[in-house]
Structure 1
């Protein structure tokens, strides 16, 4: 079996096993997976509905919430049932859930505007909600970033959750710091351990550390010719990472760096790495998505049409390159482009979720 077929099948299989809810947060009947048919309920919900919760076969006293086809779980239920730390910073109006390599941060602007990020990496829509003073997190965010899998029964309004089966490795955070002008650049990067093949482990860690060092060097280069920042608008240099996928012998990580050296706004750059933990190979999009023949034109058309439809398209797109930026998630590869590559800054990073079963 070639790389593309082998790993696409593995990720699809993992998604079926782990996915009780759809990739877009809509509710999927878990029983449908047994028959091989996905049955999504309507997203045209007009009011919030209470949902029963279960963890590892034990019913929880706290209830979840179904709102417009998305299932939400109270952050306090995750804290109490899973033992995941939950903190609240009243000054900055921020909740932090977790203390491992993926920390979920909920920035509260108001009850219906709660920005969710993982290590400051935007977790997508929908955001969180506060109902009766309690913070609720979409299940899809817990599933994608917090190592939780689940099955949903739409008839019973019941969500059963348990730990997601992940690769038997440990991921810790190391930090590179350097004084640049009158501020300190800080880049956090992942270090893995627990692989049986120490050579593969060393090579993967070398790649990730080198990327962190190159990020620091890039920060220094960006300050060339600029005056030192003042106290009113200080320079900022920050690097972080998020683990997108860690299962089936695959590890997909996105690193990102943010710098502000004056002007209207700062700049963020993303870089993703997807490794085979068997041999340390760095995977390409073409290892998961068929980019040959008519499929390549199909992909190019999909990307161009979506950019034009979503707005902010600046022109210049000539096709998806072989070394395109992407990361993995359950059932899908997510292709993306950098800020300003083809769209205006205000439109963020253009992303294109490619369901692997559709791109064999």
Structure 2
């Protein structure tokens, strides 16, 4: 099995950590199961700006706040403009947003955010004049919307994504043996018409979580992830047109100066439950490697990326996941760019393979 099982390096000690650092890294925008995600800003006073919106093609103007380059929208406007269910419990200080088979909760008292039962990293919440303002893009993209911005018209576009009819809930496994803390969230799918396929996918994802927990609990001086603290969380990146794509990010503290990370992607054909290859999701084009290579080279130039070695080609079975906008190709830390850059990621538009 791919993924975490490949992280069990049977190497000498002096090579183990070096290999782990070379092969494990964390992308910039992972939703790891941690921390200070929903801290409320109460001291600053922000100006209310009338922002132009196009919501499902209907133009409107809504008062928003801009903070550190992010647009914030009042909780009540999510209900009136988008039809999402919203609630703020003053006693518990919990903001709840519901819709599109999702429940997102922001606990202002404990500074946590959960999505369908999974703790995720988030952005600040602003409380001003007895009104709760939430980060627009962060919130809506996790609630199943596409958010765009036109620099020409200075208009924000919001449109619901046509998703597959299924629900994804977070379940967890934990193991605190050996004085270590291990917690892995994994997705559980429900609501599919084909229950055999649903069972097949759920079994694979749970098995991965179980084996990862087991590996991180082992005691082996030559194993880079033996007896480690472990966190694992998943992110659904694409749930459209009969396909489901997601990744699980793992963060391990094995006693070194920095945590080790890995990203394990899965893309499923929901008609069969089978995993799709990179060639499968690129329209079966014989030239898909060349197409992707050309796109990556162009993006490196356009984005003025400082690569540590000239990019030549991806592997035929390069790791990937799908997004609403295309196929996301990523590289491990130190493979293409400096270690501080995490996983360099390039989204190749679906149109490139037509």
Is the pair's TM-score, using the shorter chain for normalization, greater than 0.5? yes
Whether contact under 8 Å (1:101, 1:173) holds in the other structure is: no
In 2 relative to 1, CA 146–176 (structure 1 residues): closer, same or farther, beyond 3 Å? same
> What is the aligned partner in structure 1 of residue 135 from structure 2?
137
Alignment partners' CA distance in 1, 2:207 and 2:344:
26
Indicate the SS of the match to 1:181.
helix
Q: CA deviation at 1:88?
A: 9.7
Whether contact under 8 Å (2:254, 2:260) holds in the other structure is: no
Match among 184, 208, 211 for residue 211 of structure 1:
208
Tell me the TM-score normalised to structure 2 length: 0.63
> What is the aligned partner in structure 2 of residue 357 from structure 1?
351
> What is the aligned partner in structure 2 of residue 310 from structure 1?
305
> What is the aligned partner in structure 2 of residue 261 from structure 1?
254
> What is the aligned partner in structure 2 of residue 334 from structure 1?
328
Whether contact under 8 Å (2:296, 2:346) holds in the other structure is: no
> What is the aligned partner in structure 2 of residue 343 from structure 1?
337
Indicate the SS of the match to 2:276.
coil
Q: CA deviation at 1:156?
A: 9.0
In 2 relative to 1, CA 158–106 (structure 1 residues): closer, same or farther, beyond 3 Å? farther
In 2 relative to 1, CA 186–70 (structure 1 residues): closer, same or farther, beyond 3 Å? closer
> What is the aligned partner in structure 2 of residue 292 from structure 1?
288
Deviations 1:286-318 (A, max 9, x none): 3333543742542463476689x433x454965
Whether contact under 8 Å (1:144, 1:244) holds in the other structure is: no
RMSD: 4.8
Whether contact under 8 Å (2:48, 2:64) holds in the other structure is: no
Alignment partners' CA distance in 2, 1:163 and 1:237:
35
Higher RCO (CA < 8 A, seq sep 6+): 2
Alignment partners' CA distance in 1, 2:140 and 2:215:
34
Whether contact under 8 Å (2:237, 2:245) holds in the other structure is: yes
Deviations 1:92-147 (A, max 9, x none): xx98866976758799xxxxxxx999766678xxx6685857534233x3443212
> What is the aligned partner in structure 2 of residue 185 from structure 1?
182
In 2 relative to 1, CA 340–209 (structure 1 residues): closer, same or farther, beyond 3 Å? farther
In 2 relative to 1, CA 206–275 (structure 1 residues): closer, same or farther, beyond 3 Å? same
Confirm whether residue 321 of structure 1 aligns to residue 315 of structure 2. yes
Q: How many residues align?
A: 293
Confirm whether residue 225 of structure 1 aligns to residue 221 of structure 2. yes
Alignment partners' CA distance in 2, 1:66 and 1:188:
33
- Tell me, which stretches of 5 or more residues in structure 1 are unaligned? 1-46, 108-114, 227-233
> What is the aligned partner in structure 2 of residue 63 from structure 1?
63
Alignment partners' CA distance in 1, 2:328 and 2:235:
14
Q: CA deviation at 1:210?
A: 1.8
Deviations 1:213-241 (A, max 9, x none): 232133235x6339xxxxxxx96311111
Whether contact under 8 Å (1:169, 1:194) holds in the other structure is: yes
In 2 relative to 1, CA 277–87 (structure 1 residues): closer, same or farther, beyond 3 Å? farther
Alignment partners' CA distance in 2, 1:340 and 1:121:
26
- Tell me, which stretches of 5 or more residues in structure 2 are unaligned? 1-46
Q: Out of 150-159 and 74-83, give the one that drifted further.
A: 150-159
Indicate the SS of the match to 2:199.
helix
Tell me the TM-score normalised to structure 1 length: 0.62
